[in-house]
Amino acid sequence: MNPLSRIRQALIRRYRRFMDRRARPVSAIRLDRRRLYIFPSKAGFGFLVLVAALWLLATNFENNLVFMLSFLLLAFFVASILFTHGTLSGLRIKPVRAQSVFKGEAAAVELCFSQSREKRREQVALRFEDGEPLLITLDKAGDTFVTVLAPAKRRGYLEPGLLTVESVYPVGLMRVWTFIRFRFDAAVYPAPLPDGARRTGRRGAGEGHFTGTTGSDDYVGLKTYEVGESLRHVAWKQYAREQGLWSKQYGDPVESREWIDWDDYASMDTEQRLARMSWQVCECEAGEGVYGLRLPGTELAPDRGAAHRQAALRRLALYGIGAKPGETDEAA
């Protein structure tokens, strides 16, 4: 990295730290002159250089026509400041919902843009930190719903960082922007860490052992496939993932409860434990098993289904995180 790039990156980091302190979490925000920043773009600086050159040329040659041209261009530049600022001014933004995802994935965040009267706002760019930019056009009164992808970089509550809203409309000479920090109730689950040595969780004390595969439709776990077994019991999902050929076991629902236990991974650190348990939750749910979750100080009773999977993953995501940070109701 050359010295100029290092200086640029250092300035960007200092600027982001400054904005982190300034941008308090809000539940909704209305953009006005106190919230908007405006500065010439690269094209705008080039335009100013052109105007300055024309003015110097007119001064040296005492040419009134060139004087008039330079002043007209300067007036055009000043007018572009007002029009560009108006692209975002008066816009109200609030988050609607966010998707819970695994760490390392991109969460879909739905935002609501509101304006009291019909006004065309073009080339409005939205971008979370380290996320992909999205260009939108707002041209109607009322609410417009937009979905933006936000990177989920840390386990816990979804905190995608600052949302940048910017525009260079209409002529590209000025750039108007703002930074917003929203709080979301969505969770970032631990990224599943496969454990080839374990196929299911541990049975709880007093729940007995599985003794057969007939007479019940309740899933118990997986075992190595043996030649001659019914193909109806083959775990095709695991086979498609190239995890080997396994056979599903079925038995009495009371005896088939599996426990995903924190103490099963005592040799690992916290994040590795949670990642392994996250993988076990996904495996048990894929096998339609009945499973419970044990964490220090909390326990989730055995069950199955999409709601149970979400509850288990959310407990893993928020383990050790604490209460959700507060936010201001609205920035007017």
Q: What is the pLDDT of residues 78-103, one digit of tens each?
A: 999 999 999 999 899 999 999 999 99
Q: How far is CA 175 from CA 38, 111, 166, 266, in A?
A: 6, 22, 7, 54
Specify whether 180 is located in the same domain as 267. Answer: no
Q: 326 lies in a domain?
A: no
Summarised one tens digit per residue, pLDDT across range 243-301 is 677 777 765 545 457 889 898 888 889 999 999 999 999 988 888 788 999 999 889 99
In this structure, is the dihedral angle defined by the CA atoms of residues 16, 18, 23 and 25, taken in order, positive or negative?
Answer: positive
Per-residue pLDDT, 203: 47
Q: 304 lies in a domain?
A: yes
Token digits of residue 108: 């879909």
Q: 154 lies in a domain?
A: yes
Sheet strand arrangement including 156-157: 101-102, 187-189, 156-157
Q: How crowded is residue 172: how many other Cβ atoms within 10 Å of its Cβ?
A: 16
> 327 by DSSP, 3-state: which?
coil
> 67 by DSSP, 3-state: which?
helix
Specify the DSSP class assigned to residue 228. Answer: T
Domain boundary pick from 153, 185, 217 = 185
Specify whether 154 is located in the same domain as 62. Answer: yes
> Is residue 211 over pLDDT 50?
no
Number of domains in the chain: 2
Mean pLDDT, residues 193-213:
51
Query: Cα separation of 149 and 126, whole Å?
Result: 10
Summarised one tens digit per residue, pLDDT across range 308-317 is 999 999 999 9
Per-residue pLDDT, 227: 74
Q: Please report which confidence band the pLDDT of residue 233 belongs to, taking 50, 70 and 90 as the band edges.
A: confident
Strands of 201-271, DSSP E: 218-224, 246-251, 258-261
Query: Cα separation of 264 and 198, whole Å?
Result: 10
Q: 105 lies in a domain?
A: yes
Domain boundary pick from 161, 185, 209 = 185
Name the average pLDDT for the chain.
82
Spatial CA neighbour of 171 closest among 92, 82, 91: 82
Query: Cα separation of 281 and 260, whole Å?
Result: 7
Specify whether 130 is located in the same domain as 267. Answer: no
State pTM to two decimals: 0.71
Domain boundary pick from 159, 185, 211 = 185
Token digits of residue 117: 């009267």
Summarised one tens digit per residue, pLDDT across range 50-84 is 999 999 988 888 888 888 999 999 999 999 999 99
Strands of the chain, DSSP E: 25-26, 29-30, 37-40, 92-98, 101-102, 106-115, 121-128, 134-138, 142-151, 156-157, 163-167, 174-182, 187-189, 218-224, 246-251, 258-261, 291-295, 298-303
Specify whether 175 is located in the same domain as 65. Answer: yes
> Is residue 205 over pLDDT 80?
no
Specify whether 264 is located in the same domain as 179. Answer: no
Q: 106 lies in a domain?
A: yes
Higher confidence at residue 142 or residue 145? 145
Specify whether 71 is located in the same domain as 172. Answer: yes
Residues 6+ apart with CB under 8 A from 58: 64, 66, 67, 69, 70
Q: 136 lies in a domain?
A: yes
* Contact between residue 98 and residue 185 where contact means Cβ atoms under 8 Å apart: yes
Per-residue pLDDT, 221: 67
Specify whether 168 is located in the same domain as 292. Answer: no
Which residues form the domain of 64?
23-185
Specify whether 43 is located in the same domain as 149. Answer: yes
Q: 87 lies in a domain?
A: yes
Specify whether 55 is located in the same domain as 163. Answer: yes
Token digits of residue 45: 């600086």
